Amino acid sequence: MSLSSYHICIEGTIGVGKTSLVNLLAKEMDAKTVLEKFEDNPFLKNFYSDRTRYAMQTQLFFLLSRYKQQQELQQMDMFTKSIISDYMFDKDRLFAALNLDDMELDLYNRIANELQKNIVYPDLTIFLQSETDRLMYNIKIRGREFEKNMDYSYIDNLNQIYNEYFFRYDKGPLIIINTNDIDFVNNPKDLAEIIDFIKQPSEGTRYFNPMKTFK
């Protein structure tokens, strides 16, 4: 498969390396990137301190800002050969399912269902899969201030939701990459193997389990 004239989305739980792989692949593809602007959410820092109190505000801000960005992406797609993004619109529903109570989730879904009608799915989705221990290690190493007290159980629950979602994913070609034992950011060999696998013809769901290189 050629990596040109394609919209690829990379997804995965917090700390798995989505944005890093987007930037690395964009160089290979000479592609435009669409990156989630999580730092623009004014509720996010408070959310990690008090998830119950700030969950709804945080989710609605993300939902509307992601929707706006997805609409801009579709306009970009008309004039750009290759686009690679570090999230898909459905991501917001995964977080909402974990963070909102029943009444909040009902209201959220009413809004999200209307917005969803205007969303186009990527040509190829790549799910970076990892165990929670590795995710927590990555989160600690990157050292974002608002993530410094990240709760293990929260990441573990989110990780389960992501795995369940992509186990049932049927919106287009999907590649699931096990990232537990590799370091595609610092090891060129790991990155090259991922790129080679992505270039292969893709239909349905394909799985990539690289040889261990991360210690």
Per-position pLDDT tens, the chain of length 215: 455 558 899 999 999 999 999 999 998 888 889 898 888 899 998 998 898 999 999 999 999 999 998 888 777 656 667 889 999 999 999 999 999 999 999 999 999 999 999 888 899 999 999 999 999 999 998 888 777 778 999 999 999 999 999 999 999 999 999 999 999 999 999 999 999 998 887 788 999 988 777 76
In a domain, 121, yes or no: yes
* Structural domain boundaries, residue 150: 6-208
Quick one: what percent of the chain has pLDDT higher than 70? 95
In a domain, 103, yes or no: yes
Query: Residue 179 has what pLDDT?
Result: 95
Instruction: Annotate 81-124 with DSSP letters as a single string.
Output: SEEEES--TTHHHHHHHHHS-HHHHHHHHHHHHHHHTT----SE
In a domain, 213, yes or no: no
In a domain, 201, yes or no: yes
**Integer angstrom CA distances of residue 141 from 24, 45, 135, 156, 173:** 19, 19, 10, 18, 32
Q: Tell me the per-residue pLDDT of 183-197, one tens digit each, with 9 for 90 and over.
A: 999 999 999 999 999
Structure tokens at 144: 């974002």
| CATH number of residue 130's parent domain | 3.40.50.300
Q: Tell me the per-residue pLDDT of 96-134, one tens digit each, with 9 for 90 and over.
A: 999 999 999 999 999 999 999 988 889 999 999 999 999
Question: Total domain count for the chain?
Answer: 1
In a domain, 214, yes or no: no
In a domain, 178, yes or no: yes
CA distance 126 to 211: 18
Query: Residue 1 has what pLDDT?
Result: 46
CA distance 104 to 207: 36
CA distance 63 to 41: 11
Under 8 Å between Cβ of 5 and 122: no
- Measured in residues, the chain has a length of 215
DSSP 145: G
In a domain, 154, yes or no: yes
In a domain, 177, yes or no: yes
Query: Residue 3 has what pLDDT?
Result: 56
